[in-house]
Amino acid sequence: MSKQLTFIVEHLNKDPFKKNVNLITFDSLGPMQLLEILNDVLAEIDPKRMFTLLGMLKYKPPGNMSDLSSFRQGLVTGSKHVIHPILHWLLQRITELKKRAYLARFLVKLEVPAEFLQGGVITDTCHQYEELMEGFKTYHKECEQLKSSGFSTAEISGKDIGAMEEEKDQLIKRVELLKKRVESVFNHQRMLELARHLHVEQEREESLAQQKNQLMIWHVQLSNLQAL
């Protein structure tokens, strides 16, 4: 535990946090102060989604916090037994988590009800969105490979860099636009309700048709018996 606290204090005193704390002052922080520090660290990773980051970053509580309800309660109340391990985990891999948070902005799969995926604009838009996500993955991978390949900026012309940046920006804008189009379908809750109602009515119609056919069969069989 002392190693964990030492690590946390050491990194909180560095840029960009500069908390100016020591082991004693940090260990004596109250719940609200701990939550403020946690928010500061999460904001450094992704300022737009602080409150959903832990799940998205796939944080797993330590073994002694396997009870999810206890973990949530400790997180809400600012328990040091919950906050300290989170801070330690975040500060250990903050650069990696920044990259993961950045990628997640463009690689989130849209949950579209199956009732809407029956062809038409929504289906086409979802397919385009998925294709753009795959394109983004490819461009990002190529960009990372280029960074790690040892090329210097002098070896790449300004024109090439500009073209790559422009292509990347356009791709990001298209992903965001398609995401908004799918998420902002006019009156989508009402459409979902109507789609479900239609599905129920179709099943009912099919059931009635089957019953009608069965009655006709029974009628024919009864007529045949009466003719004997």
Give per-residue pLDDT as tens, 212-222.
666 666 655 56
25-66 pLDDT per residue, tens: 999 999 999 999 999 999 899 877 766 788 888 888 887 665
Query: Which pTM does this prediction carry?
Result: 0.59
Mean residue pLDDT of the chain comes to 77
For position 216, what pLDDT does the model report? 63
What's the DSSP call for residue 109? P
For position 106, what pLDDT does the model report? 78
Distance separating alpha carbons of residues 93 and 101, to the nearest angstrom: 12
The answer to whether residues 178 and 134 touch, using CB atoms and an 8 Å cutoff, is no
Model confidence at 7: pLDDT above 90:
yes
Distance separating alpha carbons of residues 1 and 81, to the nearest angstrom: 10
For position 48, what pLDDT does the model report? 72
Distance separating alpha carbons of residues 181 and 121, to the nearest angstrom: 10
H helices, E strands: number in the chain: 10, 0
Residue burial 167-196, b: 16+ Cβ < 10 Å; e: rest: eeeebeebbeebbeebeeeeebeeeeeebe
